[in-house]
Amino acid sequence: MDLLNLSVVAEYYPVLLRGFGMTILMTLIVITLSLTLAIPVALSRMSGNFLVRLVGGTYVELLRGTPLVLQLVYIYFVLPGVGIRLDGFVAALVALTLHYTAYLSEVYRAGIQSVPKGQTQAASALGMSRSQTFIRIVLPQAVRTVTPALGNYFISLFKDTALASVVTVQELLFSGQIIAARTYQYFTIYTVCMIMYFSVGYPAALFVRWLEKRTSGGYARRRRRQKGGQA
């Protein structure tokens, strides 16, 4: 008997494809929200106000110090006890966004702190406000520096959406589990799921490697130009 049952694949592929679409949709929503929300969180970690710094630091350390699956379970199963009820899809989006915002904020913070202080001082001397300096000078350079790291988190997020099955979201893995339990074709269904995840994850990994080479090459060229100018 063939391990890979193509008739089962043909019958249930549309269901797996819908689950795959849900996985991609969740990934795109969460990465968009996390990339946006991580900026104010990163700034709070560098604030001169102790209370703001404390709130930002507590949030980041709490979310990074607890498992994502626990955060999913907490939001979906525990919060209804205090009157906050979310359906599985929204609960998964909230948990994933909070989790990845904490991690991406640290990436942003490292990128912002890597920008030479002389550039902000020069912008101030030109009459730019702090907000103008951040938006026009600091943020663009920080984003270029951390882009490869952000790409790696995108890949991790794409795979972590599988945990949404814990809160009954019918993404790819959850769809596969249902079909495998119904047909007993575990090898066939999970192999197809693996191929579908790989079809996005591997090209994304190659793209991130290309970005890393481009970024490091650009940095090396800038350093050579700076040294040449100093000479």
CATH number at residue 196: 1.10.3720.10
Closest CA to 92 of 165, 2, 178, 181: 165
Residue 112 included in any domain = yes
Cα diameter, the chain: 76
| Integer Cα distance of 152 and 115 in angstroms | 21
Secondary structure element (H or E) that encloses residue 93, with its range: helix 88-114
| Integer Cα distance of 221 and 217 in angstroms | 6
Residue 1 included in any domain = no
| Integer Cα distance of 154 and 168 in angstroms | 22
The parent domain of residue 78 ranges over: 6-230
State residue 217's pLDDT score. Answer: 58
| Integer Cα distance of 60 and 45 in angstroms | 9
Residue 42 included in any domain = yes
Contact 119, 83 (CB under 8 A): no
Residue 57 included in any domain = yes
| Integer Cα distance of 53 and 177 in angstroms | 43
* Neighbouring residues of 169: CB distance < 8 A, sequence distance ≥ 6: 22, 26, 88, 89, 92
| Integer Cα distance of 127 and 77 in angstroms | 52
Residue 144 included in any domain = yes
State residue 48's pLDDT score. Answer: 87
| Integer Cα distance of 38 and 136 in angstroms | 18
What's the pTM value of the predicted model, to 2 decimals? 0.84
Say how many C-beta atoms besides its own lie within 10 A of residue 102's C-beta: 21
Residues of the chain with pLDDT under 70: 1-2, 215-231
Residue reference for tokens 């730019």: 128
Structurally, how many domains does the chain consist of? Answer: 1
State residue 2's pLDDT score. Answer: 60
| Integer Cα distance of 192 and 182 in angstroms | 16
Residue 221 included in any domain = yes
State residue 112's pLDDT score. Answer: 84
Which tokens hold the place of 227? 């040294």
User: CA angle, corner 43, sides to 42 and 47, nearest 5?
Assistant: 125
Which tokens hold the place of 129? 């406000």
State residue 231's pLDDT score. Answer: 47
